[in-house]
Structure 1
């Protein structure tokens, strides 16, 4: 279900906006200390760069 929202992204407006404003999506905040555990990806190009680094 979440991936269907990815196509709604444009510019520097990330998925966070959709996740926090869509009543269909119910989530939970998870505290964390290591920022490397979560990576901000706003574009397909950023996604490709990150996946290239991780493989």
Structure 2
């Protein structure tokens, strides 16, 4: 499956799209399928200012 990876604080440009193994539910866990997500403006602002404190 494809995933957006953010390996640490920094600007949004550091987002990397990569192929990763699909999740597997373990004993006592539930696997939930996500149909869609979004990136909000506040998310981008938080990424830009991360590490500047």
Give the TM interval when normalised to the shorter protein.
under 0.3
In the superposition, the TM-score normalised over structure 1's length comes to: 0.24
More helix per residue: 1 or 2?
1
Task: Answer with 1 or 2: which has the greater Rg.
Answer: 2
More strand per residue: 1 or 2?
2
